[in-house]
Structure 1
Amino acid sequence: MLTYFKTLSVGRGGWLLLAFSALALELTALYFQHGMHLQPCVMCVYERVALAGILLAGLIGALFPAFWLFRLFALATGLISSVKGLFLALKHVDYQTNPGPWNQCSYVAEFPQTLPLDKWFPYIFSPSGSCSEIAWSFLGFSMAQWIVVIFAFYTLLLGLILISQFKRHKPRTRNLFR
Structure 2
Amino acid sequence: MIDFLAELPRQRWPWLLLATTALGLELTALYFQYGMALDPCVLCVYERVAVAGILLAGLLGAVAPQVLVVRLSALLLWLLSAGWGLSLALEHVGIQWGEVDLRCTYLADFPSWAPLDVWWPAVFQPTGLCGEVQWAFLGLSMPGWMAVIYGLYLLAWLLVTGAGLGRMARR
TM over 0.5: yes
The answer to whether the 8 Å contact 1:99/1:132 transfers is no
Aligned to 2:148: 149
1:18 and 2:18 are equivalent in the alignment: yes
Question: What's the secondary structure of 2:165's corresponding residue?
Answer: coil
1:65 and 2:65 are equivalent in the alignment: yes
Relative to the length of structure 2, the TM-score reads 0.93
Looking at structure 2, the residues matched to 99 and 74 of structure 1 have their Cα atoms a distance apart, in angstroms, of 34
Q: How far does residue 45 in structure 1 lie from its aligned partner after superposition?
A: 0.1
Aligned to 1:121: 120
Question: What's the secondary structure of 1:165's corresponding residue?
Answer: helix
- Structure 2, unmatched stretches of 5+, are none
Looking at structure 1, the residues matched to 140 and 165 of structure 2 have their Cα atoms a distance apart, in angstroms, of 37
Aligned to 1:165: 164
Work out the number of aligned pairs and report it: 168
The answer to whether the 8 Å contact 1:50/1:84 transfers is yes
The answer to whether the 8 Å contact 2:7/2:164 transfers is no
More helix by share: 2
The answer to whether the 8 Å contact 1:95/1:105 transfers is no
Aligned to 1:2: 2
RMSD across aligned C-alpha pairs, in angstroms? 1.5
Aligned to 2:93: 93
Q: How far does residue 113 in structure 1 lie from its aligned partner after superposition?
A: 0.7
1:131 and 2:130 are equivalent in the alignment: yes
- Decide which structure has the larger Cα Rg and report it: 1
- Structure 1, 87-96 or 64-73: larger mean CA deviation: 64-73
Q: How far does residue 66 in structure 1 lie from its aligned partner after superposition?
A: 1.2
Q: How far does residue 104 in structure 1 lie from its aligned partner after superposition?
A: 2.5
1:31 and 2:31 are equivalent in the alignment: yes
Q: How far does residue 88 in structure 1 lie from its aligned partner after superposition?
A: 0.3
The answer to whether the 8 Å contact 1:3/1:167 transfers is no
| Aligned sequence identity (%) | 51
Looking at structure 1, the residues matched to 25 and 123 of structure 2 have their Cα atoms a distance apart, in angstroms, of 13
| 1:83 partner amino acid | G
| 2:145 partner amino acid | W
- Structure 1, 40-49 or 154-163: larger mean CA deviation: 154-163
Looking at structure 2, the residues matched to 88 and 135 of structure 1 have their Cα atoms a distance apart, in angstroms, of 18
Looking at structure 2, the residues matched to 48 and 103 of structure 1 have their Cα atoms a distance apart, in angstroms, of 19
Looking at structure 1, the residues matched to 109 and 19 of structure 2 have their Cα atoms a distance apart, in angstroms, of 26
The answer to whether the 8 Å contact 1:54/1:82 transfers is yes
Relative to the length of structure 1, the TM-score reads 0.90
Once the two structures are superposed, residues 109-142 of structure 1 have per-residue CA deviations (whole angstroms, 9 ceiling, x without a partner) of 0001110000000000000000000000111111
Looking at structure 1, the residues matched to 45 and 112 of structure 2 have their Cα atoms a distance apart, in angstroms, of 16
